[in-house]
Amino acid sequence: MIVVQKYGGTSVGNLERIENVANRIIKSKQLYKDLVVIVSAMSGRTNELIERAQYYSDNPSKLEMDKLLNCGEKESAALLAIALISKGYDAVSLSGKDALMLTSSDYTNAKIISIDNSRVKQELQKGKIVIIAGFQGADENGFETTLGRGGSDLSAVAFAGALNADLCEIYTDVDGVYTTDPRIEPKAKKLDKISYEEMLELASLGAKVLQNRSVELAKKLNVKLVTRSSFNENEGTIITSEEKMEQALVSGIALDKNQARITLRQVEDKPGIAAKVFTTLAKNEINVDMIIQNVGRDGTTNIGFTVPQSSLNQALDAMRELLGANALIESDSEIVKVSVVGVGMKTHAGVASSAFLALANEGINIQMISTSEIKISLIVASKYAELAVRTLHKTYNLDK
């Protein structure tokens, strides 16, 4: 059985914690014949390295940044190998380049092209525990690259795929994926299982347990993921394909506080207006999330949409420039997006109506609605954020 484990920055955050990880690995090695471990840099290290470079330049050479940034993971990988060897276990650390991960040359944000698993297999055959520095590879010129922030999750999944591993365990400082943020609803429960699709929705909606790209890759390569804590023995959350799930109607409630709403009132109701508005926003690289347009009346219509809060001013400027100084443009940054996520929605009716009814009973007005196959998102006033989350959590019996 081949198992890939990944330990995140807080799990290897100091020398004692690295020793704790070494002890966990020793236990795992007794269970699994072949063990490959991917590590992040010690927490804070990557930021510290970035700050050092910024001493010289606001825009340092990306090629050199990658040589600098990949040192963080090399450091924790070597320290972990040293700790294991000192305890009498045979271990070896490899950089991403040593482990033959080939990437594109997009320095600081490289894409994985392929992994030649021969080097890792060779070390496993020698009976070694293989520790690989996450977040990095090398391009066809032999220059080392990094995969973008949070990229060691991606390394773990990619190596698990390349080695055809039976399991990829991601260790962090939380127990797994919860039905909602336990700081908002203390009755939130840890989920035993969740599908890749649901995880992607919950992650992009703010449940930051795993990097999104890594979940997408796991889905593509069909890698069985488990996320769990390195600080206790609790079972984590399994992330797997939908077919392997007993379909819960709703798996979780996510909250996104980073949205702002813009409404364009009485814009001309004729072909090409929406195209102009959203092309302008795209040109400004503003990510639009929800959009609603009403049926027009008297030759005009209203178009509403949401953008990230940090882009609100830029979006408003762009709209004023496009529509002219007299245009009726309203905005509201005191809103949040609450989403109900669950694969079971595909096959059940009435999920949306129970959400609407529950919020109505609490006197919470819904400003915008959007739905997909496995998600219902609602925009409500910020002051209702917590109440809306708790209400919906209860509506779908997620506290039971």
CA distances from 225 to 27, 159, 177 (A): 19, 12, 12
Pairwise CA distance, residues 45 & 37, whole Å: 19
State the minimum distance, in angstroms, from the CB of residue 68 to ligand ASP: 12
State the minimum distance, in angstroms, from the CB of residue 24 to Mg ion: 18
Residues 17-56 that bind ligand ASP (CB under 6 A): 40-41, 46
Q: Which is nearer to Mg ion, 150 or 176 (CB)?
A: 150
Q: Which does 342 bind (CB under 5 to 8 A by kind): Mg ion, ligand ASP, none?
A: none
State the minimum distance, in angstroms, from the CB of residue 101 to ligand ASP: 14
Does the footprint of ligand ASP cover residue 311 (CB under 6 A)? no
Binding mask 252-291 for ligand ASP (x = CB under 6 A): ----------------------------------------
Q: Which is nearer to ligand ASP, 153 or 256 (CB)?
A: 153
Pairwise CA distance, residues 142 & 164, whole Å: 25
Q: For residue 341, which amino acid is it?
A: V
Q: Which does 395 bind (CB under 5 to 8 A by kind): ligand ASP, Mg ion, none?
A: none
Q: Which is nearer to ligand ASP, 50 or 316 (CB)?
A: 50
Please select the residue that binds ligand ASP; options are 13, 72, 176, 236, rule is CB under 6 A. Answer: 72
Q: Please give the span between the terminal C-alpha atoms of the chain, in angstroms, as a whole number.
A: 36
Q: Which is nearer to Mg ion, 148 or 344 (CB)?
A: 148
Binding mask 130-169 for ligand ASP (x = CB under 6 A): ----xx-------------xxxxx----------------
Q: Which is nearer to ligand ASP, 44 or 127 (CB)?
A: 44
User: Which residue ranges make up the site for Mg ion (CB under 5 A)?
Assistant: 8, 150
Q: Which is nearer to ligand ASP, 9 or 304 (CB)?
A: 9
* Residues counted in the chain: 400
User: In the structure encoding, which two tokens stand for residue 307, read together?
Assistant: 């953008």
User: In the structure encoding, which two tokens stand for residue 63, read together?
Assistant: 């090629």
State the minimum distance, in angstroms, from the CB of residue 305 to ligand ASP: 31
State the minimum distance, in angstroms, from the CB of residue 57 to ligand ASP: 20
Please select the residue that binds ligand ASP; options are 5, 7, 9, 128, rule is CB under 6 A. Answer: 9
Residue with tokens 């009403």: 294
Q: Which does 96 bind (CB under 5 to 8 A by kind): ligand ASP, Mg ion, none?
A: none
Q: Which is nearer to Mg ion, 8 or 72 (CB)?
A: 8
Q: Which is nearer to ligand ASP, 71 or 288 (CB)?
A: 71
Q: Which is nearer to Mg ion, 74 or 337 (CB)?
A: 74
State the minimum distance, in angstroms, from the CB of residue 60 to Mg ion: 23
Q: Which does 151 bind (CB under 5 to 8 A by kind): ligand ASP, Mg ion, none?
A: ligand ASP
- Interface positions with ligand ASP (CB under 6 A): 9, 40-41, 46, 72, 134-135, 149-153
